[in-house]
Amino acid sequence: MGLVDHLPRAALGHFPTPLEPAPRLGAALGGPQILIKRDDLSGLSVGGSKTRIFEFVLGDAKAQGATAVIASAGEQSNKLRELAAGANRLGMHPILLLTGVTGPRQLTGNRLLFEILGAEVHTTPIADRFDPALVAELDRLCTAAAAAGHQPYLVYHPGKTGTLGTAAYVSAAEELVAQFAGLDRAPTHLFLATGAAPTTAGLVLGFRTLGLELGITGVSVASPHDASQAHTIAYANRCAELLGIDRRIGAADFAIDDTQRADFSLPATRAVIEAIELFARTEGVLLEPTYTGKAAAGMIAAIRRGAFKPTDTVVFVHTGGLPGLFAHVEEFGY
């Protein structure tokens, strides 16, 4: 019996995702063996960590009889894209509130895909996901959907759906532990991008509950160290409660590297562009500047400062996000 088997789950993606060796990337860095966990290949629209998360969130929505799902995030949100795709697959109406919108509509990357997926798209200049005024707007959209005859389901990650998303990554930790069992050497460290933090929280909780001691570094994409650490601990421990796990997560269970963090509106740094090009030119694997490029830049910097032995194995979790790349064309300077 797995840790999350009792939760409702909608079959939307392809799991387990591959765990692939990246020998040319490892050789280019002259450091440890590198494995890439290909959650970018999880399927649904274009894959990524959100496909795994929405198997649980939309499984819960379906179990509650929802006919419409409502969520907010930025204009290049991978979450909203996979939500719309998953809702379509399950016959639910996707209603998206795009946050921080002040400029003209730019139909590129994920923003284009929201339209192709047929989502009902609303916008607000509010950017902070914790702002009570944003929550009020989401409530208004729920009320309007109900008035139109829908049974609405609110996807709001500071609330219950973030805890379900964390559970999705507890199950990813179980999946990885099974894959590690088939390797010659146990991985010693794992890197991934930390945004709102459910993904990191789920992996930390899953690995520690299963007794694995590998190091885990969340490379914070936007938040300062302390906020990222606090969000990860809070999601992990709310999820432990939901799943009936006794283990509690603390600051000693993982590291947050905030040296790559940058506001989403800023151009990609040299380190991020270099990381994207290195993955592409050694392994043919595509990253993007908002999440995975920063995580890779953090991992590369750690390898270059000699944090690992050549006999170590480091896992890079590829969380997807490819469409966002196309909102950053100029920054590559080609």
Ligand X SMILES: *Cc1c(COP(=O)(O)O)cnc(C)c1O
44 binding ligand X? (CB under 6 A): no
Min dist. Cβ of residue 114 to ligand X (A): 14
49 binding ligand X? (CB under 6 A): yes
Of the candidates 58, 62, 29, the one whose C-alpha atom is nearest the C-alpha of residue 307 is 29
Which CB sits closer to ligand X, 67 or 292? 292
The residue number with the shortest CB distance to ligand X is: 321
**Alpha-carbon gap, residue 76 to 99, rounded angstroms:** 10
54 binding ligand X? (CB under 6 A): no
Using CB under 6 A, pick the residue from 26, 289, 320, 323 that binds ligand X. 320
State the DSSP code for 311. T
User: Which region among 125-133, 263-271, 305-313, 315-323 touches ligand X (by CB under 6 A)?
Assistant: 315-323
197 binding ligand X? (CB under 6 A): yes
Min dist. Cβ of residue 310 to ligand X (A): 28
Using CB under 6 A, pick the residue from 138, 319, 325, 327 that binds ligand X. 319
Min dist. Cβ of residue 295 to ligand X (A): 8
Which residues share a beta bridge with 96? 71, 121
Q: What angle do CA 82, 200, 141 make, to 5 degrees?
A: 40
User: Which region among 29-37, 198-206, 207-215, 240-248 touches ligand X (by CB under 6 A)?
Assistant: 198-206
Which CB sits closer to ligand X, 33 or 194? 194
193 binding ligand X? (CB under 6 A): yes
CB under 8 Å to 249, separation ≥6 — which residues?
201, 204, 205, 208, 232, 233, 236, 237, 240
79 binding ligand X? (CB under 6 A): yes
Of the candidates 217, 164, 181, 166, the one whose C-alpha atom is nearest the C-alpha of residue 10 is 164
Min dist. Cβ of residue 198 to ligand X (A): 4
Min dist. Cβ of residue 193 to ligand X (A): 4
**Alpha-carbon gap, residue 163 to 242, rounded angstroms:** 8
279 binding ligand X? (CB under 6 A): no
**Alpha-carbon gap, residue 297 to 274, rounded angstroms:** 8
User: Residues 255, 233: contact at Cβ < 8 Å?
Assistant: no
The CA-atom distances, in angstroms, between 45 and each of 171, 285, 332 are 21, 18, 26
CB under 8 Å to 143, separation ≥6 — which residues?
none
Using CB under 6 A, pick the residue from 45, 51, 78, 260 that binds ligand X. 78
- Binding region for ligand X (CB under 6 A): 48-50, 78-79, 193-200, 291-292, 319-321
